[in-house]
């Protein structure tokens, strides 16, 4: 429930979001609102003044303030009205035609700060640092000091509900969509699609109540010949009990991608017979190869350093037939710092003279490259080497999720469909406990929290890079990826709430919140790549080279008004499709005419009655 309530001077309006109140039929409502999940029409703000009892997606309006200045880094100061609800911040400058509108879900706000005190011009200002590479600055007159305080306080309260003991907005949002997005992923169905269980792999219920591992899903796929009791002993040897479990199996070679956390080797080089036997079982499950590759996502130095904390990596002495490879991907802190630098370089303006070296100095693309390169090596081992792989980092929920999901995206065309990609995220990221709550810091004011990191953003960036190299291999488009990221921050949907499956079950997210997939699947057209060709058994091997990696300008630089998104090839393709349909219709009509005419005039043979579908030889 987005509620418009207000308790503050100067203007107090309580009204309903008329996007909803004007809807008459249920289906209307879902389409209309679906198109504007967080944008309300600006007209509504200024015209609706009455409280409507028919409050569905309603929002509390906390402040509605005139004469606020938005200091736009591109076009300078803009005066207008600022509205803050428990879901969004909405600024509108009415002096301009068309109106300038700024509409921001509060979930995007990472930090609110007062800037300076009273300035010489008698204005006070405060800045918002956003998670989506934006900083916003507002100012208004000093005489409204009490108001400023209130705006500030309200922002502090509703941008950070978790810190204030309030639920995030996802729990208020009551939009109804035709599909229940929480049903997109069913672990059993997905494993069945992969042909599991089979003679070598079984689905265990040992973690049904999250007792073996509270950050793992309840359904786990493990080697047939390892009984549950042994699994528990293996869990004791793996960090956080995250034992190696199957993520993906090759439909032909039976080579598998398995994931886990680091072994608890420690400084003394502790060993676990159970763990060694377990990895041997994983290798044995694939008859094609007598080797097992262990990909440790970390730089070897970091992996070694982890021994001091009880962790470490598999020694090749202990694990016969296993080869350990370090993938040199840095930890969450390095990535966070890299994104911070990137933001400095791209927002608000780009320094013209040293763009490329500035970009290089952020190391962002270098990190992207290492992640992609790691995933490529995994995919190559599984596909070309027919060898099973074990992937881990330290805890197995950040870099490991990046690597397994990207490798699976390269290996399995199903994950390149819109629904398949949703399954991939639900499976490799959400069910396997990528800690979204901590990494994003939903509703938490502690913006310096060292647990925050753009791990998932990097993954989506990597996906975008692959789509650039294979423009016809993905069913979804760039807008789909941007939408996922935007709603990861928006807190409108429950999808990216919490840190693990266990928490989601406990919080009853599927019951109390709407899934992002419900929204996305209600308007698939918007997210579909018309160029998509479904080649089922096509493995993608992207070229992982700086020569092909690009900064995703459509995401990182989209706030710059000097940038126009690429003239969409997709749009043109859709136009051509529409034209073809139109022409086909006309040709068919004419064909019927001609057939009728020739039939009536004479029974001549050879009239063009056969299919008009052109069949031509292929170049």
Q: Phi then psi for 373, rounded to 5 degrees?
A: -65, -40
Q: From residue 364, give the alpha-carbon distance in Å to each of 358, 369, 377, 407, 546.
A: 11, 9, 20, 20, 11
- Establish whether 93 is an annotated binding residue: no
Query: Which residue in the set 26, 66, 96, 114 belongs to the binding site for another protein (CB under 8 A)?
Result: 96
What is the smallest separation between the CB atom of 86 and another protein, expressed in angstroms?
Answer: 16
Task: Check binding of 558 to another protein (CB under 8 A).
Answer: yes
- Which stretch in 223-231, 316-324, 439-447, 471-479 sits in contact with another protein by CB under 8 A? 471-479
Is 253 labelled as part of a ligand binding site?
A: no
Q: Residue 228, annotated ligand binder? A: no
Q: How far apart are CA 158 and CA 417, in angstroms?
A: 36
Could you say whether residue 537 binds another protein (CB under 8 A)?
no
| 9/535 with CB nearer another protein | 535
Does position 612 bind another protein by CB under 8 A?
yes
* Residue 525 interacts with another protein (CB under 8 A): yes or no: no
Cβ atoms within 10 Å of 33's Cβ, excluding its own: 22
Nearer to another protein, 12 or 590 (CB): 590
In this structure, the number of other CB atoms found within 10 A of the CB of residue 377 comes to: 19
Site for another protein in 406-445 (CB under 8 A): none
Q: Supply the minimum distance, in Å, between the C-beta of residue 439 and another protein.
A: 22
Q: Which stretch binds another protein (CB under 8 A): 196-204, 270-278, 422-430, 541-549?
A: 541-549
CA pair distance 86, 443, nearest whole angstrom? 12
Number of other residues whose CB lies within 10 A of the CB of residue 208: 11
Choose one: 55-63, 321-329, 365-373, 446-454; the region binding another protein (CB under 8 A): 365-373
Shortest Å, Cβ 234 to another protein = 38
Active site residue 16: no
**Binding of another protein at residue 553 (CB under 8 A)?**
yes
397 marked among binding-site residues: yes
Q: 399 labelled as ligand-binding?
A: yes
Instruction: Tell the residue number behind the tokens 């068309």, with chain if given.
Output: 98
616 touches another protein (CB under 8 A): yes
559 binds another protein (CB under 8 A): yes
Q: Is 614 in the site for another protein (CB under 8 A)?
A: yes
Is 364 annotated to bind ligand? no
Tell whether residue 531 is a contact of another protein (CB under 8 A): yes
Binding of another protein at residue 587 (CB under 8 A)? yes
Distance of CA 470 to the CA centre of its chain: 20
**Nearer to another protein (CB atom), residue 27 or residue 36:** 36
Nearest to 428 by CA among 217, 232, 283: 217
- H or E element at residue 90: strand 88-93
* Interface with another protein, residue 611, by CB under 8 A: yes
Which of residues 121 and 547 has its CB atom nearest to another protein in the complex? 547
Cα gap 123→119, rounded to integer Å: 6
Q: Does 569 bind another protein (CB under 8 A)?
A: yes
CB of 128 to another protein, least distance (A): 13
CA separation for the pair 14, 5 (Å, rounded): 5
The H or E element spanning position 237 is helix 228-237
**Crossing angle for the helix pair 399-411 and 364-383, to the nearest 10 degrees:** 50
d(CA 242, CA 500): 13
Q: One of 393, 462, 491, 498 is an active-site residue; which one?
A: 393
* 249 marked as part of a ligand binding site: no
268: CB partners within 8 A, 6+ apart? none
Pairing of strands 135-141, 123-130: antiparallel
Q: Build a one-symbol-per-residue string for 244-263: x at contacts with another protein by CB under 8 A, - elsewhere.
A: --------------------
- Judged by CB under 8 A, the residue of 187, 332, 346, 403 near another protein is 346
- From the centroid of its chain, how far is CA 560? 22
Query: Site residues for another protein, window 378-397 (CB under 8 A)?
Result: none
Among 53, 76, 117, 165, binds another protein (CB under 8 A): 76
Q: Is 449 annotated as a binding residue?
A: no
What one-character DSSP code corresponds to residue 99?
Answer: P
Residues between 11 and 40 that touch another protein (CB under 8 A) = 35-39
- How far apart are alpha carbons 501 and 182 in whole angstroms? 12
β-pairing, 109-115 vs 256-260, is unpaired
**Of residues 387 and 467, the one with the C-beta less far from another protein:** 467
Long-range CB contacts (within 8 A, 24+) of 208-214: 210/500, 210/501, 210/502, 212/241, 212/243, 213/240, 213/241, 213/242, 213/243, 214/241, 214/500, 214/502
Is there binding between residue 561 and another protein (CB under 8 A)?
yes
Choice from 115, 305, 308, 543 touching another protein (CB under 8 A): 543
Does residue 486 touch another protein according to CB under 8 A? Answer: yes
Q: How many helices (H) and strands (E) does the chain have?
A: 22, 14
**Annotated binding-site residue? 307:** yes
By CB under 8 A, is residue 619 in contact with another protein?
yes
Is 324 near another protein (CB under 8 A)? no
Answer whether 174's CB lies under 8 Å from 166's CB. Answer: no
Binding residues for another protein, total number by CB under 8 A? 107
For residue 1, the minimal CB distance to another protein (Å) is 18
Residue 305 sits at φ, ψ, to 5 deg, of -60, -30
Query: What are the tokens at 321?
Result: 């037939």
Site membership for another protein, residue 75 (CB under 8 A): yes
Stretch that binds another protein, among 156-164, 396-404, 417-425, 546-554 (CB under 8 A): 546-554
Q: Is 538 in the site for another protein (CB under 8 A)?
A: yes
Distance (Å, whole) CA 423 – CA 429? 10
Q: Give dist(CA 432, CA 416) in Å, integer.
A: 20
Min separation Cβ 564 and another protein, Å:
5
Instruction: List the one residue from 129, 176, 350, 505 that touches another protein (CB under 8 A).
Output: 350
Q: What residues are annotated to the active site?
A: 393
- Binding-site positions read 306-309, 331-332, 393-399
- Binding-site positions for substrate read 306-309, 331-332, 393-399
């Amino acid at each position: 429930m987005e509620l418009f309530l207000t308790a503050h001077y100067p203007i107090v309006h309580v009204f309903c979001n008329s996007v909803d109140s004007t809807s008459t039929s249920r289906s209307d409502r879902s389409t209309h609102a679906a198109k504007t999940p967080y944008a309300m029409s600006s007209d509504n703000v200024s015209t609706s003044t009455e409280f409507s009892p028919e409050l569905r997606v309603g929002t509390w309006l906390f402040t509605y303030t005139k004469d606020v200045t938005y200091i736009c880094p591109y076009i300078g100061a803009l005066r207008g009205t600022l509205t803050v609800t428990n879901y969004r911040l909405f600024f509108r400058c009415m002096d301009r035609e068309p109106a300038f509108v700024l509409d921001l879900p509060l979930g995007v706000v990472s930090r609110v700060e007062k800037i300076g005190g009273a300035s010489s011009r008698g204005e006070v200002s405060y800045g918002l640092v956003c998670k989506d590479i934006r900083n916003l600055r507002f100012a208004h007159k000093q005489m409204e000091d009490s108001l400023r305080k209130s705006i500030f306080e309200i922002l502090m309260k509703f941008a950070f509900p978790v810190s204030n003991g309030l639920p995030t907005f996802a729990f208020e949002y009551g939009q109804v969509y035709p599909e229940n997005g929480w049903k997109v992923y069913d672990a059993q169905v997905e494993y069945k699609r992969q042909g599991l269980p089979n003679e070598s792999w079984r689905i265990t219920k040992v973690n049904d109540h999250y007792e073996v591992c509270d950050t793992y899903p309840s359904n786990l796929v493990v080697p047939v010949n390892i009984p549950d009791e042994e699994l528990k002993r293996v869990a004791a040897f793996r960090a956080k009990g995250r034992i190696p479990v199957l993520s993906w199996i090759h439909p032909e070679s039976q080579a598998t991608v398995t994931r886990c956390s680091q072994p608890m080797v420690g400084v003394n080089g502790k060993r676990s017979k159970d763990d060694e036997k377990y990895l041997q079982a994983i290798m044995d499950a694939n008859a094609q190869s007598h080797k097992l590759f262990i990909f440790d996502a970390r730089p070897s130095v970091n992996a070694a350093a982890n021994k001091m904390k009880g962790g470490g990596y598999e020694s090749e002495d202990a694990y016969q037939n296993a080869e350990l490879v370090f993938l040199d991907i840095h930890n969450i802190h390095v990535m966070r710092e890299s994104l911070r630098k990137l933001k400095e370089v791209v927002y608000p303006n780009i320094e013209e003279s040293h763009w490329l070296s500035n970009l290089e100095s952020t190391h962002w693309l270098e990190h992207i490259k290492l992640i992609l390169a790691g995933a490529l090596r995994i995919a190559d081992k599984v596909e070309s080497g027919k060898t099973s792989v074990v992937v881990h980092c330290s805890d197995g929920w950040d870099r490991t999720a990046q690597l397994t999901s990207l490798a699976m995206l390269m290996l399995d065309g199903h994950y390149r469909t819109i629904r398949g990609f949703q399954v991939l995220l639900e499976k490799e990221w959400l069910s396997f406990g990528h800690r979204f709550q901590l990494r994003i810091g939903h509703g938490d004011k502690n913006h310096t929290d060292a647990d925050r990191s753009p791990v998932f953003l990097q993954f989506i960036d990597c996906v975008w890079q692959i789509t650039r190299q294979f423009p016809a291999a993905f069913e979804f488009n760039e807008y789909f990826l941007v939408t996922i990221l935007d709603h990861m921050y928006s807190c409108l949907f429950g999808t990216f709430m919490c840190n693990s499956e266990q928490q989601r079950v406990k919080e009853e997210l599927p019951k109390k919140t709407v899934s992002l997939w419900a929204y996305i699947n209600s308007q698939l057209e918007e997210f579909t790549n018309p160029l998509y060709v479904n080649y089922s058994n096509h493995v993608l091997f992207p070229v992982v080279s700086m020569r092909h990696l690009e900064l995703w300008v459509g995401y990182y630089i989209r706030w710059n008004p000097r940038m126009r998104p690429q003239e969409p090839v997709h749009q043109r393709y859709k136009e051509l499709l529409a034209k073809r349909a139109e022409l086909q219709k006309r040709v068919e009509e004419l064909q019927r005419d001609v057939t009728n005419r020739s039939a009536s005039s004479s029974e001549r043979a050879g009239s063009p009655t056969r299919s008009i579908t052109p069949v031509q030889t292929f170049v």
